[in-house]
Copies of this chain bind each other. A is one copy, B any other.
Amino acid sequence: MSDQQVADAVRELIESYHELNAHVVDELYEEPSPLEFMRYVAKNRPFVIRSGAAYWDALKKWNADYLKEAMKAQGVNVAITNEGNADSAVETSDERLVFVEPYEREEPFSQVLDQIAGQELRGTEPRVRRYAQTQNDNLRGEYTPLFSDVPADIPFARIALEQLTGPDAINFWLGNSYSTTALHKDNYENIYVQVLGRKHFTLMPPVESACVNEQELPTARYGPKDCSSENSPDELVPDEQLRELDIKMAEGADKVPCPLWDPDVATERTSPFSHLAKPLKVTLEPGDMLYLPAMWYHKVAQSCSEEGICVAVNYWYDMDFGGSFWSLASFARSMGILASAKAATGSTPEPGT
């Protein structure tokens, strides 16, 4: 076959999807039944339930004071970055693109909240940016004192997805407008609930994988510039020393696949198919609940409440790798990478894993 035939098939995939699917995130005003939810899962299409979580205790109770009172100085993991860019592609000083993970450490919750809110309310460029975003089932771990304010699971999802023991993870998120989650995808069915402030989602379906210019990048991690022995292991490096975090390359040769295209900077770092993408936008207000289907690419920006914080909770349910969806979506991704590499550079890398 010719490269052109493969590129034509990739283009046809993306265009036929757009012809067959409305360019909109469905808006519901009450929770779907398990069957109604399963129809969305079957189509792998998102929806938002406006005010779907408005009745939760968290929506009624949570504010800065309540959260600090409940959590006190409980240590929580916080991601610290220069640019609010945890887990994203960053250009190093020697012009290499690397996938950078945040500097992570444990800090007392009330201090984390004050720092995040303080940065936001001062409105000046922060020194470093903090985002409590562990995604390790933290609401049933570090944040246990807050867990009783949210449901232990989402019944329509538990029933539809036959996950009778509940979600695989429930995560608490605390950040401000200086942090953005870069475009990525997860192998989970995701129910995302906004509590304080607003989240601005940009969503792209798995059939658009050829548009995101996914490349294999070496991994690195932010770290304090000065790791001298001035501080004992148990003592926190003071913020002064965090003013500019260094990018420290990971040991070993591991690479990870990472989308380079940013739908909000559409003409840069493009793949030959980026111009075909039609990203969906949806903003979650407090109380809104989003179904973010498995394998959808998503970029997430934040706006804060008047207290200077943005707080959300999400439920990850295991996706079903059986049936045809995962296999077909993975195939489309592999072909998109092959077709992009050929068209862009003439090189022929192996598709990422």
Q: Does A42 contact B (CB under 8 A)?
A: yes
Q: Are B207 and A13 in touch, CB under 8 angstroms?
A: no
Task: List chain B residues, Cβ under 8 A from A338.
Answer: 1, 5-6, 9
- Closest Cβ of chain B: how far from A291's Cβ, in Å? 13
Instruction: Please name the residue on chain B nearest to A40 by beta carbon.
Output: B323
Give A314-340 as 1s and 0s: 1 = Cβ < 8 Å from B's Cβ atoms. 000000111111111111101100110
Q: Are B1 and A324 in touch, CB under 8 angstroms?
A: no
Q: Are B20 and A326 in touch, CB under 8 angstroms?
A: yes
Alpha-carbon separation in the docked complex, A320 to B320 (Å): 19
Cross-chain contact of A2 among B330, B339, B348 (Cβ < 8 A): B348
Q: Which of A31-39, A136-144, A301-309 contacts B (4 or more CB under 8 A)?
A: A31-39
Q: Are B43 and A9 in touch, CB under 8 angstroms?
A: no
Q: Given A6-B6, A324-B325, A325-B325, verify A331-B13 contact (CB < 8 Å).
A: yes
Q: Are A1 and B2 in touch, CB under 8 angstroms?
A: no
- Closest Cβ of chain B: how far from A15's Cβ, in Å? 9
Q: Does A351 contact B (CB under 8 A)?
A: yes
Q: Does A21 contact B (CB under 8 A)?
A: yes
Task: List chain B residues, Cβ under 8 A from A326.
Answer: 16, 20
CB-defined A-B contacts under 8 Å, sample of 28: A1-B339, A1-B341, A1-B342, A1-B348, A5-B338, A5-B348, A9-B334, A9-B351, A10-B331, A12-B334, A13-B327, A13-B331, A16-B326, A16-B327, A16-B330, A20-B327, A35-B38, A35-B159, A42-B325, A43-B322, A43-B325, A206-B324, A207-B331, A324-B328, A324-B329, A325-B325, A328-B332, A332-B332
Q: Across chains A and B, which 8 residue pairs bring their CB atoms closest together, nearest first?
A: A43-B323, A42-B42, A328-B328, A13-B331, A1-B338, A17-B327, A38-B38, A35-B35
